[in-house]
Amino acid sequence: MYPKNEPNKIVDDKLGFIQNMIDSGEYDVAVKESCTVFEIVFKKIFQQAIVSLSFRERGEILEIERKIGKGTKGVEDFGFGELVGLFRESKLMDKWANHTSKDLGLLRTLEFSSIVNLRNRIVHDGITCSRGEANIVYEYLRNLLAILGFADLENMINKSFSKKEETVANQKDIGGNKDEIALPDIHGLPKVNKSLRERSSYSSSKQDEALRLHLQSKNYEEIDFKVFEHILNESDGEEHLRILDIGCASGHVTYDRFSKMNEVEKVIGIDINREKIEEAKATIKDDRFHFYTVDIEDNNFLETMDSIIQKHGGRKFDWVFAAFTIHHFANPTRALLNLRKLIKPGGYIIVRGSDDGSKIAYPDEYNLIGTALELTQKVAGASDRENARKFFHQLRKTGYKKVEMFYNFRDTTKMNSEDRNNLFQENFIFRYNYFKNRAEKFPDNERFQTEYKWLKDALDEIELMFLDESFYFQEIHYVAIGKR
């Protein structure tokens, strides 16, 4: 790793290598190496664009990505020609320039299609290029890097998307503390398009997450069993149920819910986290329960599940249970469509989730809770914090019948100090990890560091707010069911 006081060295070395290839007459190598750097830069610009640009602009860019990838691959698997096509059709450079107020100068007029054609002739047709052609491609690359700031590739893209005026609003001293909590100016930041989002970076292995999930399981127990009883009544007390629990983690909720039901014959729990699946296998010895490491968004998901189903008798599932899982997916609609194919006719899907829009707090003089919720909506890698309001639409859209919604209201009015603290832990502490991870990944990004520091301080204050017996907080639990 290069020292921080040499941020340009990585790019300098790559450009130096390309120049050496030109000087030594290896023009074809110079062109191919230049295109490799172009690919890296384009992908990083794209990744930052879908986090930073407006809702409408991100939608336009992602729609073109799907069009070019034909629904089978994303930008990470695009070749140079596909990336150039993506940038050209989405006018991504223009969008970037408008967002950052940067003057792209001649970069707007650069014709990358000619570079694509040259590279393709070299790679696929075995045609050699001239020194002049290699120099032109090299100069295109140098111009692009110059506009970006000619620094370390990770940081230069990130910095290039920071607006010229990033302000931090200072608030009054909170709760008598000597140090002020600086509130980020979040109003100029774009909303995240939740139907066109990246996959959540959530991991059930994070520190303290096991405790939070245990609290969450306890709090949702009443509504879960209420829903189970409703479905059993609707299906005339059907027995010998086969149940699929997706996103089961270590299997705590899986076992807690279904081991108590005499109607259950077999339960399959799946999760992407291999460590947690191994934990489930080691701790749950009931012969009715089986656990597998499966990625629900993998292209081979249905084939994987078919092999598991065949291994256990070939019957499709009576119920699919998805507790706090759907909101982590990049494409919830596709996941629900695939899950529907695993359910027998007349079977049910049960989807549980939450929605930050249901959270109400008072007093919150400095809007610490509102700001924390809003910032979480924007941070890259966070799950969809407004997911529960979409359940009815998503289930109906993907072909489920007789969709019903169930609700539990919970507030602090009758809670003791321990219950209030548990409520705080469940609703807020996990948010810290998203900002911590981003700050560590981009140590030179001032905005990311500011938001991380602010959230860390704000969570300390919010925890104290919850311990105040006069503080009021309310949230809603949501469960949706749909029939196959």
pLDDT band at 4 (very low <50, low <70, confident <90, very high): very low
What phi-psi label fits residue 411: left (phi over 0), alpha (psi between -120 and 50 degrees) or beta? Answer: beta
Other beta carbons within 10 Å of 418: 9
Other beta carbons within 10 Å of 345: 7
Q: Is 102 in a helix, a strand, or coil? A: coil
Nearest to 481 by CA among 323, 365, 288: 323
**What is the residue extent of each domain of the chain?**
9-160, 209-483
Listed ranges 11-25, 196-210, 262-276; the one with the highest mean pLDDT = 262-276
Which pLDDT does position 104 carry in this prediction?
Answer: 60
pLDDT band at 11 (very low <50, low <70, confident <90, very high): low
Do 256 and 283 meet the contact criterion of CB atoms below 8 Å apart? no
**Residues 292, 303: Cα–Cα separation, whole Å:** 14
Q: Which two tokens stand for residue 378?
A: 């924007």
Exposed / middle / buried, residue 114 (Cβ in 10 Å: 0-12, 13-18, 19+) = middle
**Residues 402, 160: Cα–Cα separation, whole Å:** 49
Task: Write out the CATH class of domain 209-483.
Answer: alpha beta
Q: Which two tokens stand for residue 464?
A: 């104290």
Pairing state of beta strands 317-323 and 264-271?
unpaired
**Residues 468, 462: Cα–Cα separation, whole Å:** 10
Q: pLDDT tens digits, residue range 250-277?
A: 898 999 999 989 999 999 999 999 999 9
**Residues 317, 326: Cα–Cα separation, whole Å:** 18
Nearest to 215 by CA among 359, 432, 419, 355: 419
Do 263 and 232 meet the contact criterion of CB atoms below 8 Å apart? yes
pLDDT band at 324 (very low <50, low <70, confident <90, very high): confident
Q: pLDDT tens digits, residue range 134-151?
A: 988 888 888 777 766 644
Nearest to 111 by CA among 86, 147, 137, 146: 137
pLDDT at 187 over 50: no
Alpha helices in 235-342, H assignment, sequence order: 252-258, 274-283, 301-311, 332-340
Q: Which two tokens stand for residue 103?
A: 């003057």
CA distances (Å), 88 to each of 64, 111, 114, 141, 156, in order? 10, 9, 13, 16, 21
pLDDT at 181 over 80: no
Q: pLDDT tens digits, residue range 443-482?
A: 988 888 988 999 999 999 999 999 999 999 999 989 999 9
Do 38 and 70 meet the contact criterion of CB atoms below 8 Å apart? no
pLDDT at 209 over 90: no
